[in-house]
């Protein structure tokens, strides 16, 4: 094993000695040998690839904790994790870019119709509901369990058309700092509602009155970097048209039957109170 001094190693990998000492302290890149008397660090030449990988990941903005995981993976898994990190970063950048455009337009007095707000009539219906305080990670898991596993596996019948689409109501924001609550809702036929409610004692059965719903169709229910902007657009539309939302924002799951569709689309919506 060929050893080089910390100074030589720093020049080889284009890192400062200070950075190398920091990576040693946090456990990312330990010296191959440390002098027991002076504490001087020596590095093996085969550690250069790891050092360059760490430096590259830092330039990408990968958090140290995630880098620690990536550098211990085999190349294929490390590549998968890097690709996943950048996909998430691009998703967040898209949302920030859209929000920036929205704020610039708003601050300069412009009000572009960025989203096509539609209004539809929905009938009165019986709805099975599950309300929970959740984190962003739990939001997806609870929704999938409620809508996919419990309702589908139990063969719960659907209402026809858009009135039968399941939806989630955000009574509060679900973020790292706020846990909602969120309420998952599954419309069911009137004739079978009481029997179904008895089969799911942890769920609430309530009657939702006939109402109008303002909505914006979105291509994916899985991830939408502009969801926050759509919610703002719906709120602005309601003010402009002198309408009030009856409760929180809804995400209505819409089956996407287009070729190559990966999961459902959605309508981001608000239930409207009766116009005064």
Tell me the per-residue pLDDT of 57-66, one tens digit each, with 9 for 90 and over. 998 889 999 9
Q: Closest Cα partner for 146 from 163, 166, 117?
A: 166
Q: Are residues 189 and 262 in the same domain?
A: yes
Segment holding 168, helix H or strand E: strand 167-170
pLDDT means over runs of 10, the chain (276 residues): 89 89 92 90 92 90 91 92 84 67 70 80 96 89 90 92 94 81 96 95 96 92 79 83 89 76 83 80
Query: What pLDDT is recorded for position 225?
Result: 77
Where in the sequence is the domain holding 154, given as residue range(s)?
118-272
Q: Are residues 51 and 82 in the same domain?
A: no
SS3 169: strand
- For the purposes of burial, counting CB atoms within 10 Å of the CB of 258, is it exposed (0-12), middle (13-18) or buried (19 or more)? exposed
Query: What pLDDT is recorded for position 166?
Result: 95
Query: What pLDDT is recorded for position 173?
Result: 81
**What is the spatial distance between Cα 233 and Cα 48, in angstroms, rounded to a whole number?**
51
Taking only the tens place, the pLDDT of each residue in 93-132 is 766 776 677 667 667 766 656 788 999 999 999 999 999 9
Q: Are residues 149 and 189 in the same domain?
A: yes
**What is the spatial distance between Cα 269 and Cα 273, in angstroms, rounded to a whole number?**
13
Query: What pLDDT is recorded for position 261?
Result: 56
Torsion sign over Cα 55, 57, 61, 64: negative
Q: Closest Cα partner for 51 from 24, 76, 25?
A: 24
Opening angle at CA 193, ends 186 and 168, nearest 5: 15
Which tokens is 203 given?
Answer: 């769920």
How many domains in the chain?
3
Domain edge (last residue) among 112, 141, 168? 112
Q: Are residues 133 and 254 in the same domain?
A: yes
Q: Are residues 126 and 191 in the same domain?
A: yes
**What is the spatial distance between Cα 137 and Cα 127, in angstroms, rounded to a whole number?**
25
**What is the spatial distance between Cα 120 and Cα 98, in angstroms, rounded to a whole number?**
27
Average pLDDT, rounded, for the chain: 87
Q: Are residues 189 and 107 in the same domain?
A: no
Q: Are residues 205 and 154 in the same domain?
A: yes
CB-based contact 167:251 (threshold 8 Å): yes
Torsion sign over Cα 127, 140, 86, 21: positive
Domain edge (last residue) among 72, 104, 126? 72
Q: Are residues 151 and 175 in the same domain?
A: yes
Q: Are residues 82 and 182 in the same domain?
A: no
Which tokens is 38 given?
Answer: 């002076």
Q: Are residues 141 and 253 in the same domain?
A: yes
Would the pTM of this model clear 0.75, i.e. be above it? no
Query: What pLDDT is recorded for position 227?
Result: 83
Q: Are residues 105 and 144 in the same domain?
A: no
Report the CATH number at residue 56: 1.10.1660.10
**What is the spatial distance between Cα 199 and Cα 217, in angstroms, rounded to a whole number?**
33
Report the CATH number at residue 163: 3.20.80.10
Q: Are residues 264 and 133 in the same domain?
A: yes
How far is residue 243 CA from its own chain's centroid? 29
Query: What pLDDT is recorded for position 100?
Result: 73
Domain edge (last residue) among 45, 72, 99? 72
């Amino acid at each position: 094993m060929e050893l080089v001094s910390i100074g030589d190693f720093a020049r080889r990998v284009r890192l400062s000695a200070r950075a190398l000492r920091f990576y040693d302290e946090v456990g990312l890149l330990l010296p191959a040998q440390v002098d027991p008397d002076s504490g001087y660090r020596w590095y093996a030449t085969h550690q250069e690839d790891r050092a360059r990988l760490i430096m590259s990941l830092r330039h990408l903005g990968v958090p140290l904790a995630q880098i620690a995981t990536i550098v211990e993976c085999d190349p294929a898994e490390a590549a998968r994790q890097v690709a996943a990190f950048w996909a998430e970063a691009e998703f967040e950048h898209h949302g920030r870019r859209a929000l920036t455009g929205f704020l610039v337009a708003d601050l300069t007095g412009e009000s572009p119709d960025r989203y096509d707000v539609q209004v539809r009539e929905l009938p009165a219906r019986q709805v099975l509901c599950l309300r929970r305080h959740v984190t962003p990670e739990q939001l997806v898991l609870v929704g999938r369990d409620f809508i996919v596993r419990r309702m589908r596996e139990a063969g719960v019948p659907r209402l026809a058309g858009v009135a039968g689409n399941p939806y989630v109501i955000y009574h509060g924001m679900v973020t790292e700092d706020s846990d909602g609550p969120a309420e998952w809702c599954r419309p069911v036929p009137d004739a079978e509602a009481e029997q179904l409610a008895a089969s799911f004692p942890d769920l609430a059965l309530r009657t939702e009155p006939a109402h109008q719903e303002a909505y914006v169709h979105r291509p994916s229910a899985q991830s939408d970097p502009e969801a926050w902007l759509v919610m703002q657009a719906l709120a602005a539309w309601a003010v402009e048209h002198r309408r009030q939302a009856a409760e929180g924002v809804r995400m209505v799951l819409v089956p996407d039957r287009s070729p190559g569709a990966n999961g459902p689309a959605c309508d981001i919506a608000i239930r409207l109170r009766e116009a005064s």
